[in-house]
Amino acid sequence: MCLSLTTMLKRDRISDYIMVDPAESLSLPSREEGIAGKLMMLIVAVLMCIGVVIVYSSGAEWAKKNYLSSEYFLWRQLTFSLLGIITIVMIAHLDYHFFCKISKIFLVGSILLLTSLLVLKGIGRISGAARWIGIGSFSFQVSDFAKYAIIFHFSRLISEKQSYIRDLNNSYYPLLTILMVVVALVAFEPNFSTASLIALIGFMLMFIGGVKIRHLLTTFLLLIPFAVGFAIAAPYRLHRLHSFTSKNEKEISYQVVQALIGLGNGGLFGLGIGASKQREYLPLSYNDLVFVVIGEEYGMVGAVAIIALFTVFLVCGLIIAKHAPDNFGKYVAAGITMAITLFAFINIAVACHLIPTTGVALPFISYGGTALLLNSLGVGILISISRYKKWALEKSVQSDASAREMA
């Protein structure tokens, strides 16, 4: 993925992230830019519709037992999906450079929130994993917020440092320090899987931005022992690794066995809408293992269709990044695209027992409001980047017309 990203995103690194006169700096938007933005919107809408149906199907019985209404998840998922569509439309009409201006606020805010979680856990106000913070009836997962904070601020810093991006002291160390602070805070929640993905996104952005590969590889090799030690320090993580590598069926984890049975039940065309049998045995069948329900009810055809949708989403995101008007837009588009597709493919890989079990939701489909709204924010920014040239040129033409009328 790194090599394809570099190839597709290769552009002149002299331009800064601050735009100059659109009439002078922007070329005419290409046809593929417009198509990519519209197709991405369509894909996300389809994924959200699938999410509403699957969440209702997989969580109805569980909701009935715990919330006394089988439609509890249905209405909440539908509400968040509608809010997600509204978010995309609103952000798509906003100048994406706004997120460059507030990137430091995003970063500082996420660090303060992550630190607050650990403090609350330390004084006993939070038991277990400290991942959620709530204000009244509203709560959200701070690591989702931190992920986008890294994308926004790294895109800004890498754009600003292009003239000396390969410098170790003035460029790489400051970027690495910011990334490791956020990654460490997320890891100690503990949320090792999300921390690893945030680190991967940060390193990929630095790679695309032109940081020396030698610096990245050296850091990666130095971090491997720490990552392995942290991964096996907790008994539950060690059990997951042992379960994944074991060839003894009795040692494979319960949820993996149930997931594989569910996918096998689906066959080619599936059991039909609402006909899943394994949803009763799968923990969090409406969230982390929602792909299993898709495979069981819609078969291999449905599962492949989901993979195809996310693959096309990836291609659209890379096209938008390739044709972005400036470096900030390019890196933001690449970061958002990587974040969404990485989470999607890792969720699918876990469901298929291709990688060790980890708690990563399927974007736009799994139940949950925070991730859906933040991913909708990301898609809105991608569409804003794809239409910025057209918007800027139209504004320039209108300004010229107004100037001629006044003259």
pLDDT tens digits, one per residue of 135-159: 666 678 899 999 999 999 999 999 9
User: Within a domain: residue 303?
Assistant: yes
Give residue-wise pLDDT tens across range 267-296: 999 999 888 888 888 877 888 889 999 999
The type of residue at 68 is L
Q: What digits encode the pLDDT tens for the residues 215-249?
A: 999 999 999 898 888 878 877 778 788 777 777 66
What pLDDT is attached to residue 199? 95
Residue 404 predicted with pLDDT over 70: no
The predicted pLDDT at position 17 comes to: 42
**Which pLDDT score, from 0 to 100, does residue 229 have?**
85
Q: How many domains does the chain have?
A: 1
Average pLDDT score over residue span 167-179: 95
Q: Is residue 315 part of a domain?
A: yes
Q: Is residue 74 part of a domain?
A: yes
Give domain status of residue 135, yes or no.
yes
Ranking 3-12, 165-174, 209-218 by mean pLDDT, the lowest is: 3-12
Asked whether residue 350 is assigned to any structural domain, the reply reads: yes
pTM of this prediction exceeds 0.85: yes
Q: Which pLDDT belongs to residue 401?
A: 60
pLDDT of 242 reads 75
pLDDT for position 294:
95
**Terminal CA-to-CA distance of the chain, rounded, Å?**
53
Indicate the pLDDT class of residue 6, thresholds 50, 70 and 90. very low
Closest CA to 297 of 319, 317, 272: 272
231, 258 contact by CB (below 8 A): no
Q: Give the pLDDT band (50/70/90) at residue 7.
A: very low
- pLDDT tens sequence across 306-321: 999 999 999 999 999 9
CA pair distance 205, 15, nearest whole angstrom: 17
For residue 396, pLDDT beyond 70 = no
What gap in Å lies between CA 356 and CA 234, rounded to an integer? 15
pLDDT band at 42 (very low <50, low <70, confident <90, very high): very high
Whether residue 395 has pLDDT greater than 60: yes
- Residue 190: both structure tokens together: 């503990």
- Residue 141: phi and psi, rounded to 5, are -90, 115
Cis geometry, peptide bond prior to residue 325 (ω within 30 degrees of 0): no
Its domain, for residue 306, covers 2-17+28-395
Q: How far is CA 64 from CA 74, 286, 335, in A?
A: 11, 14, 39
What residue type is assigned to position 153 of the chain?
A: H
pLDDT at position 402 over 70: no
Q: Comparing C-alpha atoms, which of 214, 278, 283, 232 is closest to residue 253?
A: 283
Judge whether residue 407 has pLDDT over 80.
no
Q: Which two tokens stand for residue 31?
A: 């046809």
Per-residue pLDDT of 353-389, as tens digits, reads 888 888 789 999 999 888 999 999 999 999 999 988 7
* Per-chain mean pLDDT for the chain: 86
Answer yes or no: is 403 within a domain. no
- pLDDT, residue 5, reads 45
Query: For position 248, what pLDDT does the model report?
Result: 66
> Does pLDDT of 192 surpass 80?
yes
Q: Where are the alpha helices (DSSP H) in 288-368?
A: 290-322, 327-351
* Whether pLDDT at 80 is above 50: yes
| In the predicted structure, residue 63 carries a pLDDT above the cut 90 | no
User: Is 377 domain-assigned?
Assistant: yes
Please indicate, yes or no, if residue 240 is contained in any of the structural domains.
yes
Partnered with residue 135 across adjacent β-strands are: 138
Tell whether the model's pLDDT for residue 257 goes beyond 60. yes
Confidence of residue 55 (pLDDT cuts 50, 70, 90): very high
When pLDDT is averaged across residues 68-82 and rounded to a whole number, the result is 91
